Chain A
């Protein structure tokens, strides 16, 4: 099997599909103090399971957008969005279909380069994934990668054999098409 080949990529995707059902909620809020606390408190109080949550200001500095990935079926998403609307600052909650949005996340990975020749191989894989090398140390290199969850999962799997020193990812953030 060639490294970074398409077959391997597909295999990884198949494996990843077995994850629990998730939905994405886009929540726009009035940018007032304490909103993050209220939303996270609500998630805890009502026992919703969250895969990831990102938040940032939008083009309008008075409005922030949360992207929340929820584990659970439609009924959970519906309950959660109704509860979110009870928060006074929440302006809009929507749960888009996957084909209505573009979703991305950012990952950073620090990979060991102790193995002879690994630098070369890692760079090749990184090229295939359009990952960028952002820092090089004598024994490791750091790469950044943006993409959808599957792509990042696949990249992670490919890096494993070199020894992952550290790995972080942001969780998904989305925009309507």
Chain B
């Protein structure tokens, strides 16, 4: 069967199970857009800025576990994707970005809307391609989808010249791909797993640190099983949030800079650390020199480059978390570590009194972020799929939303991309339409990708957007207060009227300023069949605590 390159691209995407494309047309991708109308099974969602396409694809991928797809034109279309690609790289999110490129004979001549997409994206993608012939498209797409979602997932870029999109060639979807240099190790080394089991069995104070890898390999059940069987406390990283539910008896809290007190302090008391699919990011470890200094570290990750990168692993295990845990669980002994668990409790009491209670049950004053998020959590029974943007709203969401279903939190962790929330939320809802989706976003981040409100309306995407408006770039302001003598340089926000704005976009909205209106507002949002926006006017100069100041050790975490 002879087809054009553009048709081959569409056929190949269908073969890979693609249902949705987030994209934006332009000159160098027009042949593909022309072909798209012949493939109604490929739902195209027209974003309003290419960055939105990348984040929406990320949201979709993280909600479904399937690669998200973006389609953009050359030049500015492709460069607008860059932030999203870098974000996907840092957070190991499988997305496949297809960009149009100028005709092959113009490449290198600074043609209109030409950019060196492969050059720009090489350092921020898992792999990338420049395709200049129609007959290379099918194979490249197959390889790209395979690469994006195997091993450690990541973004793949396929840059296709306009002549390759026009070119006519025989279409046959390849059966096999040949990647001799890419063979991710899934099964852990037996000897290492036996060794790890031995160390766990003889430990008094074992501690599991669960990261994004647990969610990526869908090992939530195995994680809970290991924790229950060997009675091991589980702390989660920001991206590991919801790897176990917050009500799970072994869950002890959120690790890192604005995490809970007990898991941070107990990291330095543990005698064995079982790090699962996490990468000892500096926001988690604090000062490295005395991090987990008493512990034997078992580090499991599918990416060998993570083992020993920041922290020396005594027992490194390369493999898929699910497979490794399945092998590990039978060799660990059933036991109780009640004394060890109680050492977490004493810090929990302190944090509850000093931080949590004043945040979620304030007596007077303006609304607090934690209070808003906890109320949403209670009204939704902790069962929503939650997306947060970046900054104070993100830390507060992670801290105060009680995730009662696993794999239900999406945020930009590694890159910390403001503006991620709204487009990722719409992508997530497209992927998991049965879920109630809430997006928490600050007044700053909301304005970074605000144009996607139109996309939400056009596509009738039923998400609830909660703006936590404190009139500041809150996290930066907090740092200015604590470390720059309250010199609030450029962090106070001049904001538009979010309610009028939302209504202008066609999304009903309410502004909530009073404590007694909280539940009513949230209920109204939930009852509305379709997108809804709530602006919560919260305290202007509130801080996120606890906090590990940069350069401090995890056990120097401050509660005020």
Q: Contact residues of A with B, CB < 8 Å?
A: 29-30, 33-34, 37-38, 41-42, 45, 75, 78-79, 82-83, 85-91
Chain B, residue nearest A91 (CB): B181
* B473, chain A: closest CB distance, angstroms: 29
Q: Verify if B227 is at the interface (C-beta below 8 Å from A).
A: no
Q: Is the CB of A85 within 8 A of B305?
A: yes
Chain A, residue nearest B304 (CB): A82
Residues of A within 8 A of B303 (CB): 86
Q: Is the CB of A83 within 8 A of B181?
A: no
Q: Is the CB of B118 within 8 A of A34?
A: yes
Given contacts A45-B123, A86-B303, A88-B182, contact A78 B308 (CB under 8 A): yes
Interface digits, B297-319 against A, CB 8 Å rule (1 contact, 0 not)? 00000011101110000000000
Q: Which of B136-157 contact A (CB under 8 A)?
A: 147
Residues of B within 8 A of A79 (CB): 305, 308-309
Residues of A within 8 A of B305 (CB): 79, 82-83, 85-86
Given contacts A83-B305, A88-B147, contact A37 B122 (CB under 8 A): yes
Residues of B within 8 A of A91 (CB): 180-181
Q: Which of B117-175 contact A (CB under 8 A)?
A: 118-119, 122-123, 126-128, 130, 147
Q: Is the CB of A29 within 8 A of B118?
A: no
Q: CA–CA, A115 to B118, complex, Å?
A: 54
Instruction: In the A-B complex, list the 7 residue pairs whose CB atoms are closest, starting with the nearest.
Output: A82-B305, A91-B181, A88-B127, A88-B182, A90-B181, A82-B304, A41-B123
Number of chain B interface residues as a range = 10 to 19
Q: Is the CB of B119 within 8 A of A37?
A: yes
Q: Enumerate 14 A-B pairs (CB-CB under 8 Å) in ascending A order.
A: A33-B130, A34-B122, A38-B122, A75-B308, A79-B309, A82-B307, A82-B308, A85-B304, A86-B303, A88-B127, A88-B179, A88-B181, A89-B181, A91-B181
Q: CA–CA, A87 to B122, complex, Å?
A: 10
* B181, chain A: closest CB distance, angstroms: 4
* B157, chain A: closest CB distance, angstroms: 12
Residues of A within 8 A of B182 (CB): 88
Residues of B within 8 A of A45 (CB): 123
Residues of A within 8 A of B127 (CB): 88
Q: CA–CA, A37 to B303, complex, Å?
A: 22
Q: Which of B85-131 contact A (CB under 8 A)?
A: 118-119, 122-123, 126-128, 130
Q: Which of B165-213 contact A (CB under 8 A)?
A: 179-182
* B122, chain A: closest CB distance, angstroms: 6
Residues of A within 8 A of B119 (CB): 37
Chain A, residue nearest B180 (CB): A91
| 9 further contact pairs, Cβ within 8 A, besides A82-B307, A88-B181, A91-B180 | A34-B118, A37-B122, A42-B123, A75-B308, A78-B308, A79-B308, A85-B304, A88-B179, A90-B181
Q: Is the CB of B180 within 8 A of A30?
A: yes
Chain A, residue nearest B305 (CB): A82
* A12, chain B: closest CB distance, angstroms: 38
Q: CA–CA, A129 to B126, complex, Å?
A: 47
Residues of A within 8 A of B180 (CB): 30, 91
* B243, chain A: closest CB distance, angstroms: 24
Q: CA–CA, A86 to B309, complex, Å?
A: 14
